[in-house]
Structure 1
């Protein structure tokens, strides 16, 4: 497995498979390892190069011994890109890794980051219950707050891969990492307002695709569709999955959506793929 040393000497590990540019850069969210892309990686790597990273202090990467912030992680991702030699990358960010996707676009510019892919993220302003959960993660009731998030992400889920990943992989992270995650996520929303607002401020506009399964809300989807009508560079696809982790449940659809955006083989339109029994949009 390739590795790169960060500016402070921490070893950051990543997979490097497939060929072709732009390369996809798979970025897990906080308290998540690159294992979340296990089923997606070979599907995407059959068509183009894929770099799949473990964040510092996560999975095989070092750096959990001292505190760090989102800027440190961004520096690590930049180091991975430069070590890989990739001229162009399309960040694929799961959940709040989307903030790093946006920062990479800001840092490297539109020529080197031509598109963005966001997976299952709160792209609007965060709802009050979510902000309450972040505050809980930064308190002595962090475990209760974490378990509440797990319950929400696993509601109605019977896929053993998803259940095992959340309970075992994510459940292995302790209080320090969950508190750090909450601090950095809350800080990003306070600074940016929402991912949609941050995307609007990118110049030139960057073609962006949001693939998501949760929440099962008509208003959440309708708001994104309306945003896409006003900003044709933004596209949304509601996936026929149940959990917060469609990379496990519907990897073929996720891979197809990513490839359609990146290859620009067709004019991408706002699309809804509904779960059986779901109310029409």
Structure 2
């Protein structure tokens, strides 16, 4: 059931499942997605965790026009929502560009409250030129529909996965994306943002895209050798949406990271 709370003078949509006496697991979506991005994961998670799925402002069931917003509003909205739910310590999961506010939340609240962060398929380098061009085209009335389709085709990479296709049809919309560009302009890359956190939680990036790029994998290997708090896994999937495409693999990675974080605290 979709729920809403008035947070920071706007309505924030969320839902929760599992038992409130279990460890809290907070799921943040990427840009232009609602909480249905994690539908396929719930059967794997709901027996172990108190799962809270959060929509960004303007991304809930009622998609009224709202004022432009950025990462700082996403951070504030999420923290305020969790405080209203009396959530103190929680494990954090983000998809794609939801990683920017996730890193900000981890930085602001500290490792005691956010012991680990699992990031799913976010671009860890500067955005590739074709991606940047596509985002720019989505700001123009004449080109936004074609640009959106182009991004989706790239993310699907020829896959015919029905769960991902259904998500595109019913969820993926024409939301603004200025905060994406602003985050890269401010921090450079997500990896650089991680290194700016004074005492980072355990952070793991799991991904499939970009496909077949050894230099991208090497970038992760280099960071994991440099910092014990960082790890990664190439899921070897087909699409940009592993939580829908291969949810069992994503759930396994969540469980592993949570267990490592609990051991680290002890």
TM-score normalised according to structure 1 size: 0.86
Q: Which string of whole-angstrom CA distances, capped at 9 and with x for unpartnered residues, describes residues 170-220 of structure 1?
A: 1xx23xx2xx21x11000000000000000111112210111111112211
Match of 1:210 among 205, 220, 228: 205
Per-residue deviation, 1:67:
1.5
Q: Is the Cα contact below 8 Å between 1:210 and 1:235 reproduced in 2? A: yes
Aligned equivalent of 1:195: 190
Q: 1:136 to 1:59 in 2, by over 3 A?
A: same
Runs of at least 5 residues in structure 2 that lack an aligned partner in the other structure: none
The alignment of Structure 1 onto Structure 2 pairs a total of residues equal to: 259
Give structure 1 stretches of 5+ with no counterpart: 269-281
Deviations 1:89-137 (CA, angstroms, capped at 9, x unpaired):
2221110000010111122122211111100110122222222222222
| Contact kept? 2:58, 2:66, Cα under 8 Å | no
Q: 1:256 to 1:158 in 2, by over 3 A?
A: same
Q: Distance in 1 between matches of 2:165 and 2:237?
A: 14
Q: Judge which range, 226-235 or 62-71, deviates more.
A: 62-71
| Structure 2: distance between partners of 1:21 and 1:168 | 31
* Relative contact order, higher structure (CA 8 A, sep 6+): 2
Once the two structures are TM-superposed, the CA of residue 66 in structure 1 deviates from its matched residue by 2.2
Following the alignment from structure 1 to structure 2, what is the Cα–Cα distance between the partners of residues 225 and 39? 29
Specify the SS of the correspondent of 1:15.
Answer: strand
Assess, with a 3 A threshold, how the Cα gap between structure 1 residues 159 and 41 changes in structure 2: closer, same or farther: same
